Copies of this chain bind each other. A is one copy, B any other.
Amino acid sequence: MSDRSSTDEATVPRRDAARNAELALLLEVAGTPKPGNVDRLRDHPDLHFDHFLAGAVGAAPGLRLAAGSGPLGEAFERAVAGMTEQRGGNTQFGALLALCPLVRAASRDDLSSEGVRRVVAETTVEDACSFYRAFDHVGVAVDDPPEGMADLDVRRGSDAIPMVRERDLTLADLMERSGDGDGVAREWTDGFPRTFEAAERVVADDGPVSERGARAFLHLLADEVDTFVATTSDEAAAREATERAQAVLAGEEDAASLAEEFVERGINPGTTADLVAAALFVALERGVEV
C-alpha cells in the first residue's frame, strides 16, 4: 500500500488539539505490552480493542468542545457520552478527564503546567454538575467517597447535583477532594506533573509512538501505585503492580509475560493508562511525528 510519500507540506492540514487528543487515545490503546491493560495484542473478557477504537471516535465531538471556549465540564460530559457508544462500557473515562483541561490549554497555546493550572482554576460549579452528569452515561469503578462527602458520591450521578450547588463546589474543588484516591484528580490539582514528565520521556524516546507510550506506561507504573488497581483489586495488588513494573525495568521480569498474568488476574492499571494517553497528547502537541 505504500510507495514513498511525496507529501506537499504546504497543503497538508495540521492535526489540531482535538484531533491529537483523539489520536492519543488510539495510540494509547495500541501500545503493547502495557501489563494488565487492553492493548494491541490483548483483550479483557468483556472489553475488546474495538471498544476503545469506537470510544475514541465517539469522544471526538466532546474533545472538539474542549478545544473551544464553552464550559469545560460540558465538553467532558459530551466526550464521555460519545465514548459510550459501544458495548464495552467504560473505556476511556479517566483519560478523557485528563485530556479535557490539557486540550483546552493547548487550544490557547498555553500547554504547560501553569497553563493547565489556569484552566483548572477557571472551572465552575456548573462544570462540577456536568462532571456528575457524566456518571449517568456509564458505570465507572471509583472508591467510596472521602469522609463527610457521602452525599457527593459520584456514583449518584446527577442526583448529587443539588448538593454540589448547595456546597458551591467547582470542578477544581471536587478534584482536590478526590486526589487521595484518584491519580487523575491528583494531576488536575498539581498541574499534571506526571503527565508532562511522561510526555518528555515520549518525546526523547524513538520508534513507533504507541510503543513509546507502552514504555512510558512501565515507568509511570514503576514510579507510583495505580489508584485504579487499588480501587478495583486492592492496595496489595496495586503495590505488587508497581513492584513488578520496577522488576521489568530492572530486566528481572518480562513485560509480555507480566501482561498475560495481569490480564488473567484482572489487575488493571487503568489510571496509569489514562496518564499515558494524556502524555501522548502532550507529546503530539510538542511535535512528535507518528
Task: Show the binding face of A for B, using Cβ within 8 Å.
Answer: 1-8, 11-15, 19, 22-23, 26-27, 30, 37-38, 40-41, 43-44, 46-51, 53-54, 56-58, 60-61, 78, 81-82, 84-94, 136-141, 208-210, 228, 268, 270, 273, 289-290
Q: Which of B60, B89, B228 contacts A19 (CB 8 A)?
A: B60
Q: Which residue of chain B has the shortest Cβ distance to A7 in the bound complex?
A: B84
Shortest CB-to-CB span from A34 to chain B, Å, is 12
Contact B78 A13 (CB under 8 A): yes
Q: Which residue of chain B has the shortest Cβ distance to A86 in the bound complex?
A: B290
Contact B82 A8 (CB under 8 A): no
Q: A26-B57, A137-B8 are in contact. Are A13 and B50 (CB under 8 A)?
A: no
Q: A12-B82, A50-B208 are in contact. Are A3 and B140 (CB under 8 A)?
A: yes
Q: A30-B53, A57-B19, A82-B13 are in contact. Are A5 and B46 (CB under 8 A)?
A: no
Question: Once bound together, how far apart are the Cα atoms of A216 and B80, in whole Å?
Answer: 31
Taking CB atoms, residues of chain B closer than 8 Å to A22 are: 57
Q: Which of B5, B15, B46, B90 contacts A89 (CB 8 A)?
A: B5
Q: Which of B12, B208, B209 contacts A85 (CB 8 A)?
A: B12
- Say how many copies of this protein the assembly contains: 2
Most B Cβ at <10 Å: residue of A2, A49, A81, A82? A2
Shortest CB-to-CB span from A87 to chain B, Å, is 6
Taking CB atoms, residues of chain B closer than 8 Å to A228 are: 1
Taking CB atoms, residues of chain B closer than 8 Å to A268 are: 1
Contact A138 B60 (CB under 8 A): no
Taking CB atoms, residues of chain B closer than 8 Å to A23 are: 53-54, 57
Q: Which residue of chain B has the shortest Cβ distance to A47 in the bound complex?
A: B2
Q: Which residue of chain B has the shortest Cβ distance to A37 in the bound complex?
A: B1
